[in-house]
Amino acid sequence: MKVQISVHPRFHLKPLVVILLALMGIAFITAMVRYANGIGTISDLSNSYPWGFWISFDLFTGVAISSGAFLMAAVVYIFELKEFRPLVRPSVLTGFLGYMLVVIALLVDLGHPERIWYMMIHWNHTSVLLEIGICVMSYLAVLVIEFAPVVFEGLKLQKFAHFIHRFIMPFVILGVVLSTLHQSSLGSLLLIQSAKLHPLWWTPILPILFFVSAITIGLSMIIFESTLSARYFHRGLEIHLLEKLAKAIPIVLVTYLVIKFSQLTIAGDLKYLFTSGLMSVLFWAEILIGAVTPIVLFSTKRVRQSANGLLFGAVILLLGMILNRFNVSWFAVQHPDPLSYMPAFMSNVHYFPSLPEALVSIGIFSAGILAFGLAVKYLPVFEHEKEGHGATS
C-alpha cells in the first residue's frame, strides 16, 4: 500500500511558526524565572488563591477539550460506528497533545515538579487529586499507544502498526474507563470545597455533571478542530459525520440541563438562581452560552449542515462550558472572607492572573498548535481513508 501525501499544508507559513516559537520561548524563560525564584514572583497566586488561571485553563479546560479522543475511540471501536473513523486520529492527536500540555503546565504549577512521580509511590487513597494524577498519567500512556500506529506508519514501520493495532481493544476500553474517571473526577476535585464553592455549583453529583458536559465539549472540539483543519490544511470536510455528532449534542445537553436543574431543585438551591449577584450572572452565562444556545443551534438543520454553522455552534458551546470550568475552579470559589487580616502580607485576597502567568499558558498552548501542525505535516494523521488500519483506524 503506498502512502500518498495528499496534504500540502500551508502550515510552513514562516511567520506563524516564528510567532509560536517566540511565545514558547517567552513561556520557557518565564518558567525558568519561576523555577529560580518561586511561583509568587511570576504569578498573582497567593495563600488565598492557591490555584488560579493555570489550573482553570491548563488543567480544567485542557483536560475537558481533550475528551474527543476517548469519545471517538469509543464510538469507533466499542460501538463500531466505522464511518467516524476519519475523526479518530485527529482526536487522539488532540487528546495526546492536550494531556501533554496539561502535564507540562503542571510541571510549572507544582511546587516540586521533580517530585511528580511521588504520586506513583506515595498513595493517599482518599485524594481525588491522586486519582486524577494517576488517571491522567495512565491515560497519557494509553494515548501514546493509541497514537503509536500513526507514528509507525509515518516511519514506514507498518509491521509495528499492525502489531499494536491487534491489541488495541483493551487499551481503548482502558482509555475510556480512565477518561470517564478523570473527566468526572475533575468535578470531584471540588467536592472537598463544599464550604468554598458557591452552592449554584457545588453538588455531590459534580462528577456526573463534569462527565456529561465533557461529552459535549469533546464533541464540539471535534467539530471545531475538523472545521478549522479543513480550512487550514485544505482537507475535505466530513460534514456528514460532523452533522451526526452535532445532532447528538442537544440530546446530551438536555440531559445535562435536566440533571443540573433537578439537582438544584432537590438541593433547594433554586433560590440562588437570581439572588447571588455576580454568581447568578456567571451561572446563567454558562447555562445560556454553554447549553441553551447550542441546543437551539444544533437542533437547527441549517446550522448543522453548514461548516460555518457547525463551527459557530461548537465555539459557543466551548465558550460556555469553558466558562463553567472557570466558574467551578475559580470564579465561584469563595476563599476565606476578606475580613481584616494581620499581618498585612496575609491579606492578598484578590486574584487576577498576572501577565507572566498568562504567558506561560499561551506558550504551552502555542507548543500544542505547533506540535499539531508538525504532526499533521509529517504523520499520516488524516490518512485513514487510504490506510487500511492504524491506531485509530
Partner 1 sequence: MPSTISRRDFLKVGGAAIGAVALGKFIPPLVAEAARTNGMLDATNSGYIPSMCEMCVWRCGLLAKVEEGRVVKLEGNPDHPHSNGKLCPRGQSGLMNTYDPDRVLTPLIRVGKRGEGLFRKASWEEALDLVAQNMLDIKQKYGPEAMIFSSTHNLSQVQFENLLNAFGSPNYGTQRSLCFNAMIVANLTTYGMEEPERKYDDLNYIILTGRNLMEAISTSETSALSQAIDRGAKVVTLDPRFTKTAAKSSEWLAIRPGTDLAFHLALINVMITEGLYNRQYVNSHTSGFDRLAGAIAHYTPEWAASITEIPADTIQRIAREFSGAAPYALAHNGWRTSNFVNSFQTERAIAILNALAGNWGVALFPASGEESGVLGAPPQPPYPRVSAQRLDGVPWKYPLVPLKIGVFQELREAAISGTPYQAHGWFIARQNPAMSLPDRGRTLEAFGKMDFIATIDILMNDTSWFSDVVLPEASYLERYDPLNIVGDKAFLRQPVIEPQGEGKSALWIYKELGTRLGLSDFFQYADEEDYLKQQLAPLGVSLDQVRQKGYVELPGEGPDFSEPTWNTPSSKIELYSTMLEQGGFAAVPQWEEPPAPQPNQFYLLTGKVAQSTQFGTQNNQLLHKYSDEPRLWMNVKTAKSLGLVDNDMVEATSTAGKIHIKLEATQAIRPDCVYLTPGYGHLSKGLTTAYGIGASDSDLHVTYTDPISGGQALSQTFVTVKKI
Partner 2 sequence: MKKIAHNSFLFDATRCIDCRACMVACSVENQIPMNKTRIWVAGVGLKGEYPSLVRASMVYHCMHCNEPDCLSACPVGAYSKRLDGPVVYDPKKCIGCRYCMNACPFGVPHFDWDKGLIEGAFIDKCSLCTQRIDIGLEPACVATCPTEALMFGERADLLKYAHDRLAAQPARYINHVYGETENGGTSYLILSHVPFKELGLPELPSRPVKEVSEEVMGLTIPFALGWGAVLTGLAAGVHLYNQKKNANAQKLETSEAPTEETK
Smaller CB separation from partner 1, 38 or 236: 38
Name which of 260 and 304 has its Cβ closer to partner 2.
260
44 lies in the site for partner 1, by CB under 8 A: yes
Judged by CB under 8 A, which stretch of 180-188, 230-238, 342-350, 376-384 contacts partner 1?
342-350
- In the list partner 1, partner 2, none, the entry touching 77 (Cβ below 5 to 8 angstroms by class) is partner 2
The values of phi and psi at residue 348, to 5°, are -75, 80
The residues in 97-126 that bind partner 1, with binding defined as CB under 8 A, are: none
Neighbours of 304 (CB within 10 A): 22
Kindly indicate which of the ranges 91-99, 137-145, 168-176, 343-351 contains the residues binding partner 1, using the contact rule CB under 8 A: 343-351
Q: Which is nearer to partner 1, 120 or 355 (CB)?
A: 355
From the list 37, 63, 66, the residue with the least C-alpha distance to 129 is 63
Q: Alpha carbon 46 to chain centroid distance?
A: 25
Please identify, using beta-carbon distances, which residue of 306 and 347 lies nearer to partner 1: 347
Smallest separation (angstroms) from partner 2 to the CB of 359: 18
Closest CA to 197 of 288, 291, 279, 318: 279
Cβ at position 114, least distance to partner 2 in Å? 7
Least distance (Å) between residue 226 CB and partner 2: 21
Residue 334 engages partner 1 in binding (rule: CB under 8 A): no
Task: State the minimum distance, in angstroms, from the CB of residue 190 to partner 2.
Answer: 8
203: left (phi over 0), alpha (psi -120 to 50) or beta: beta
Phi and psi at 354, nearest 5°, equal -80, 165
Identity at 283, one-letter amino acid code: F
Query: How far is residue 320's CA from residue 282's CA, in Å, rounded to a whole number?
Result: 10
Contacted by 303, from partner 1, partner 2, none: CB < 5 to 8 Å by type: none
CB under 5 to 8 A by kind: which of partner 2, partner 1, none does 354 bind? partner 1
Q: Which residue has the cell 503546565?
A: 105
* Per-residue cell: 151: 507514528
Window 223 to 282, contacts with partner 1 (CB under 8 A):
none
Which residues have CB under 8 Å from 196's CB, separation 6+? 333, 334, 335
Contact partner at residue 5 from partner 1, partner 2, none, CB < 5 to 8 Å by partner kind: none
Interface with partner 1 includes 343 (CB under 8 A)? yes
Determine how many CB atoms are found less than 10 A away from the CB of residue 203.
Answer: 22
Among 128, 62, 129, CA closest to 96? 62
Cα distances from 268 to residues 202, 234, 272, 275, in angstroms, run 12, 52, 9, 14
Q: Does 354 bind partner 1 (CB under 8 A)?
A: yes
Please, what is the minimum distance in Å from the beta carbon of residue 352 to partner 2?
16
Residue 73 CB, shortest distance to partner 2, in Å, is: 11
Minimum distance from CB of 350 to partner 1 (Å)?
11
Only one residue has cell 453538588, namely 203
Q: Is residue 361 near partner 1 by the rule CB under 8 A?
A: no
> Contacting partner 1 (CB under 8 A), which of 8, 13, 25, 40?
40
Near partner 1 by CB under 8 A: residue from 45, 76, 151, 314:
45
Number of other CB atoms surrounding residue 369 within 10 Å: 16
- Rounded to an integer, what distance in angstroms lies between the CA atom of residue 139 and that of residue 144? 8
CB of 352 to partner 1, least distance (A): 10
Contact yes or no for 45/51 (Cβ under 8 A): yes
Compare residues 109 and 238 and give the one whose CB is closer to partner 2: 109
Which of 15, 92, 3, 30 minimizes the C-alpha distance to 391? Answer: 92
| Contact positions vs partner 1 (CB under 8 A) | 40-41, 43-46, 342-345, 348, 354
